């Protein structure tokens, strides 16, 4: 088998693994319970409006695609994991939003060049393993003068720190794969997009997460519902010392949540994200 075919097979296997991770658990619940308004934040910042053709990359269950459609825009929600679409369609119907849903790899989007007025990704493209390939596709399918809008967890955010806490327990990533929270580093994203964009506006902000009664409640919820966390626990469950590793990871995740607690009568955390918009250079 040629090197190119070997590489294609390896990529296909990697994407199948990613799809399985995000299909596990209940991401629809996570999006609705934990970050219900983040998609709308990105839509507003990107200036999405009626008459535009909009692509949401890594749309999941439509956290950004649905509010974009509610502006009157013609929206396509794309994701590597079409298992999430049924929940997204139910949410869209409940809110009265009409949009299209299409399975798509963020690193090889099945759309034409310069097809969309706005290309968005809310906590989506950041999980594609090859960052430059994902960024190249965002730019390619955006019209000259069109908007690229990205919302990503920062490396120092709670989620960034959570991935760092899980790393010692997770299988080693394949060669060339990059950590998702790098998309929350402004310098990294600017380098990915390069001179192909202009009018870059980047700001850090936080979302208040107050769905959980305690750090332990957060941990148990993510163990049951969030694909990447489920995958790590599954990976260590078969180890000879899996029980000890599981207990250590239990403690690490609860401790991390406790560190991010902001005090008050109810347990809450502030999770930081980078919101970046740009225009594709004409």
The per-residue pLDDT for 263 is 82
Chain segment 187-233, per-residue pLDDT in tens: 999 999 999 999 999 999 999 999 999 999 999 999 999 999 999 99
How many angstroms separate the CA atoms of 183 and 155, rounded? 8
**Per-residue confidence at 42, pLDDT binned at 50, 70, 90?**
very high
Residue 34 lies in a domain: yes
Token duo for residue 192? 């990915």
How many angstroms separate the CA atoms of 221 and 46, rounded? 31
Residue 83 lies in a domain: yes
How many angstroms separate the CA atoms of 161 and 173, rounded? 17
Residue 239 or 193, more confident: 193
Residue 37 lies in a domain: yes
How big is the CA angle at 50 (ends 45 and 55), to the nearest 5 degrees?
Answer: 65
Range(s) of the domain holding residue 133: 3-209+269-280
How many angstroms separate the CA atoms of 77 and 193, rounded? 22
DSSP state of 190: H
| Pairing assessment for the beta strands 100-103 and 116-122 based on DSSP bridges | unpaired
Chain segment 50-61, per-residue pLDDT in tens: 999 999 999 999
Q: HSE of 23 in the Cβ direction (CA atoms, 13 Å)?
A: 14
DSSP state of 66: H
How many angstroms separate the CA atoms of 183 and 190, rounded? 10
Of 134, 51, 62, whose CA–CA distance to 93 is shortest?
A: 62
Is residue 3's pLDDT more than 70? no
Residue 262 lies in a domain: no
- Please compute the mean of the pLDDT values over residues 158-178 and round it to a whole number: 95
Residue 89 lies in a domain: yes
Is residue 92's pLDDT more than 80? yes
Chain segment 258-267, per-residue pLDDT in tens: 999 998 889 9
- The helix or strand, by DSSP H or E, that contains position 141, with its residue range, turns out to be helix 131-141
Residue 68 lies in a domain: yes
Percentage of the residues of the chain whose pLDDT score is greater than 90: 92
Mean pLDDT of the chain: 96
The per-residue pLDDT for 1 is 60
Residue 177 lies in a domain: yes
Q: What is the CATH number of the domain that holds 127?
A: 3.40.50.150
Of 119, 146, 14, 114, whose CA–CA distance to 58 is shortest?
A: 119
Please tell me the total count of domains within the chain: 1
Residue 252 lies in a domain: no
Neighbours of 262 (CB within 10 A): 13
The pTM is what?
Answer: 0.96
């Amino acid at each position: 088998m040629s090197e190119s075919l070997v590489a294609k097979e390896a990529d296909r296997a990697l994407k199948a693994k990613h799809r399985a991770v995000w299909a596990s658990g209940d991401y629809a619940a996570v999006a609705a319970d934990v970050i219900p308004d983040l998609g709308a934040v990105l839509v507003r910042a990107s200036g999405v409006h009626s008459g535009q053709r909009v692509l949401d990359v890594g749309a999941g269950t439509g956290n950004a695609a649905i509010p974009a459609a509610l502006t009157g825009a013609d929206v396509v929600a794309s994701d590597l994991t079409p298992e999430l679409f049924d929940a997204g369609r139910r949410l869209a119907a409940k809110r009265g939003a009409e949009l299209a849903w299409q399975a798509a790899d963020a690193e090889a989007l099945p759309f034409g060049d310069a097809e969309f007025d706005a290309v968005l990704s809310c906590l989506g493209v950041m999980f594609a393993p090859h960052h430059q390939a994902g960024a190249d596709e965002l730019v390619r399918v955006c019209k000259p003068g069109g908007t690229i809008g990205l919302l990503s967890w920062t490396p120092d955010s709670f989620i960034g720190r959570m991935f760092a806490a899980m790393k010692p327990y997770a299988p080693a990533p394949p060669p060339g794969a990059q950590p998702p929270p790098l998309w929350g580093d402004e310098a990294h994203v600017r380098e990915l997009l390069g001179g192909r964009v202009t009018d870059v506006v980047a700001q850090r902000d936080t979302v208040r997460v107050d769905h959980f009664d305690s750090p332990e409640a957060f941990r148990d919820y993510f163990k049951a519902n969030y694909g990447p966390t489920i995958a790590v626990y599954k990976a260590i469950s078969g180890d000879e010392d899996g029980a000890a590793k599981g207990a250590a990871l239990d403690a690490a995740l609860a401790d991390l949540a406790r560190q991010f607690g902001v005090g008050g009568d109810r347990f809450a955390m502030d999770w930081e994200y980078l919101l970046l918009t740009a225009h594709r250079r004409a």
